[in-house]
Structure 1
Amino acid sequence: MSEPRYTPLRDRHEALGASFTDFGGWQMPVRYTSDLAEHHAVRQAAGIFDISHMAEFTVRGADAGAYLDYALAGRLSALAVGKAKYSLLLAAAGGIVDDVIVYRLADDDYLVISNAGNRDAVREALSARVDGFAVDAVDVSDDYALIAVQGPNAEAILAATPGIADVSIPWSEQKYYAWASATFAGAPLLLARTGYTGEDGFELLVPAEHATALWDAVLAAGQGHGLVPAGLAARDTLRLEAGMPLYGHELGLNTAPAQAGLGRVVVTAKESFVGKDALDPAPGAPVLVGLVAEGRRAGRAGYTVVADDDTVLGEITSGALSPTLGHPIAMAYLTPSSAEEGTAVFLDVRGTKIPATVTALPFYRRTK
């Protein structure tokens, strides 16, 4: 059994009284005070997350764009410098190796950020696909830390953070799924207006040795703006409300993009890319839907979804009592015949049938 890994911010989490949990082989803060308080802070003000367990890869060379077009499901060669794009890394058999975000840093320079638990699989896949391309794909995960600041006050907090300087684009002009360059204490800092909460916010990529100072500076700037440290529990309910898939729950090697509602991410017009010839799911394959229920009892991952006559229709992949909406929500894979919006189903919650309704995703969408 391998030793657990910790981010450069371990000491800060311990000092803040965090409870830790294993996530992708990393010991990560699951909460600091209260799951609900941290969740509500992000929706109403701001939260700061350590996401340094995520994996980063540089893709550089004259063929960088063409290589990523082949290695990933999207057309990354068309991505403008300064922009970011969500994409999928597919297996040859059509399943999802990982979902990633790609940033174009320069004409021949890209950054790929993947999930922590899939770091090895992504590294192996990227390395295996370089043949024939003038490109280097390098795992630089250990060189960087990644900090997310999410919530309606995120921009104001970061604009006031001491040490952040040389911002290439005025804060108010930075667009969603784009990035700006900056420095922190003289070190390079990438400011990406991306996130995994459904709120406005930023993800800050900084050399690992500067992570503690940046964390402290942002926390100091957040005083008076409602900023709180937030853990994985809040991050999970936030992303669930926003209808964002989580690898290992909604996505996996046995999932085709179309089943997960991600067919739009795949550019089938490309001449060739890994997985292109195996995209079509089997007839009758389950599809991802949202479910809402009344009361307080939530369906959890692994619980079955049934019809009135107890016929099994599918299985919940993620579920919780929504802190923002006040009622149970879930994502589930259901048979196509039961996946139409408005269909009445039941959640099998430890032997009790809880009425639920198929609904469109996301459950929550910010208003500004």
Structure 2
Amino acid sequence: MDNLKVTPLRGEYEKNGGKIVEFAGYELPTQFKGILHEHETVRERAGLFDVSHMGEVLVKGKDAEKFVNYLLTNDVKTLKNGDVIYSFMCYPNGGVVDDLLAYKFSEDYYYLVVNASNKEKDFKWMLDNKGNFEITIEDISDSVAQLALQGPKAQEVLQKLTQLNLSEIGFFQFKDDIDICNKKVLISRTGYTGEDGFEIYAKPEDVVVLWREILKAGENEGVEPIGLGARDTLRFEATLPLYGNEMDETITPLEMGFGFFVKLNKENFIGKNVLIKQKENGVTRKLVGYELIDRGIGRHGYIVIKDNEEIGHVTTGYMSPTLNKTIGFALIDAKYAALGTEIFIKVRNKELKAMVVNKKFYSKKTQK
């Protein structure tokens, strides 16, 4: 794994038994004690993730809000200071550049959090579309480390380390300049697991202390470090998409069934005209959930068949640790997307029977 980047927590992985893999150009832990165990830890207690590989971009200036609203499909003008919004960033053809979170400090100050594998591409896309907007765009990814504490015990554990009443941070809100273990951090409440939890943005030189102190504070509550493997199974059960699986430059948010995050009635944004036409004409393919009836697992890229014809492909597939069912997402011809439709997943040389089901597989126990 030569020439790969590392986060400030690289040394902590091995201390906790982490198995290291390459991901998005980084050395990151795929698991510590095992994916199933870590999945259950987050669902039942709380788990700590190193997500320092994510990208962070500052947009500042007189036209910051106008620019961000032009860039994104969602409407950031609905935000108050201290709010966070989830959105897609699209190409003119409606395909997805990336999905991201936008943090509003003020009308002239936004903080965008993008996927690790896309951060260079995303930053270039922002610069290429700056136009005449009066703004500055700064990639600060290398000066930010990020932890995510996720699970029903997350607030109880983190509350031990800060004077801030964490109940004051609502879902998709944040507070900046907060003291944790004598370190100044930004804390938000969004999450990528389907559970309640917090993101902690800190200086790289502070994050090792924070990692250790959170694990120590959560020892009696069963808090443990969590790797990429469980991160993927958790997000999948909670119907949270992954770039490169459920979305890419060829798949639109409407085909994914995420039209809620596309505000076609707001002022112009990149991809709007194509998405309006797609909404009016109806999508020709849809992202669906499926449950395998036959024994086996459909993986990303496996072909979906109906009446001996290829109708799409699997985007994500797993044996769900929480539901104990073999389920997945598939992007298929829209005419076969009705709930209860029988389809087949081609696994090696076999066609395994499956049924289209609601893709909202899991709802979190803790609502905020």
TM-score w.r.t. structure 1 length? 0.94
**Root-mean-square deviation (Å):** 1.7
Given that 1:102 and 1:112 are in contact with CA atoms closer than 8 Å, whether structure 2 keeps it comes out as yes
3-state SS, counterpart of residue 130 of structure 1: coil
**C-alpha offsets along residues 242-269 of structure 1, whole Å, 9 cap, x if unaligned?**
1111000011001111101122211222
Correspondent of 1:330 among 318, 325, 328: 328
Instruction: After TM superposition, give the deviation of residue 132 of structure 1 in Å.
Output: 1.7
Q: Percent identity?
A: 36
Q: Distance in 1 between matches of 2:183 and 2:212?
A: 16
**C-alpha offsets along residues 154-174 of structure 1, whole Å, 9 cap, x if unaligned?**
00010013xx34x3xx22232
Q: Distance in 1 between matches of 2:251 and 2:283?
A: 13
Q: How is 1:1-368 mapped onto 2 (pairs within 5 angstroms)?
A: 3-161=3-161, 164-165=162-163, 167=164, 170-181=165-176, 182-279=178-275, 280-281=277-278, 285-294=284-293, 297-307=296-306, 309-368=307-366
Q: Distance in 1 between matches of 2:293 and 2:33?
A: 27
Q: Distance in 1 between matches of 2:47 and 2:106?
A: 31
Shift in alpha-carbon separation, 1:9–1:349, aligned structure 2, 3 A: same
**C-alpha offsets along residues 114-158 of structure 1, whole Å, 9 cap, x if unaligned?**
000100111011112222222111100000101000000000010
Can you give the 5+ residue segments of structure 1 that lack an aligned partner in the other structure?
none
3-state SS, counterpart of residue 291 of structure 1: strand
Instruction: After TM superposition, give the deviation of residue 353 of structure 1 in Å.
Output: 2.5
Q: Distance in 2 between matches of 1:2 and 1:251?
A: 29
Instruction: After TM superposition, give the deviation of residue 113 of structure 1 in Å.
Output: 0.2
Pick which of 74-83 and 234-243 moved more: 74-83
3-state SS, counterpart of residue 118 of structure 2: helix
Instruction: After TM superposition, give the deviation of residue 86 of structure 1 in Å.
Output: 0.3
- The letter for the 1-side match of 2:168 is E
- The letter for the 2-side match of 1:219 is L
**C-alpha offsets along residues 202-261 of structure 1, whole Å, 9 cap, x if unaligned?**
111111110101001100001111111110000011011111110000110011111011
3-state SS, counterpart of residue 259 of structure 1: helix
Instruction: After TM superposition, give the deviation of residue 195 of structure 1 in Å.
Output: 0.7
- The letter for the 2-side match of 1:160 is K
**C-alpha offsets along residues 307-363 of structure 1, whole Å, 9 cap, x if unaligned?**
2x3222211010000000001010010101111111111222222232211112221
3-state SS, counterpart of residue 224 of structure 1: coil
Instruction: After TM superposition, give the deviation of residue 276 of structure 1 in Å.
Output: 1.6
- The letter for the 2-side match of 1:176 is F
Pick which of 241-250 and 17-26 moved more: 17-26
Given that 2:294 and 2:353 are in contact with CA atoms closer than 8 Å, whether structure 1 keeps it comes out as no
Q: Distance in 1 between matches of 2:175 and 2:88?
A: 23
Q: Distance in 2 between matches of 1:138 and 1:234?
A: 32
Q: Distance in 2 between matches of 1:132 and 1:2?
A: 41
3-state SS, counterpart of residue 66 of structure 1: helix
Instruction: After TM superposition, give the deviation of residue 289 of structure 1 in Å.
Output: 0.6
3-state SS, counterpart of residue 146 of structure 2: strand
Q: Distance in 1 between matches of 2:91 and 2:309?
A: 33
Q: Distance in 1 between matches of 2:12 and 2:132?
A: 45
Q: Distance in 1 between matches of 2:15 and 2:344?
A: 44
Q: Distance in 1 between matches of 2:364 and 2:80?
A: 26
Q: Distance in 1 between matches of 2:154 and 2:234?
A: 16
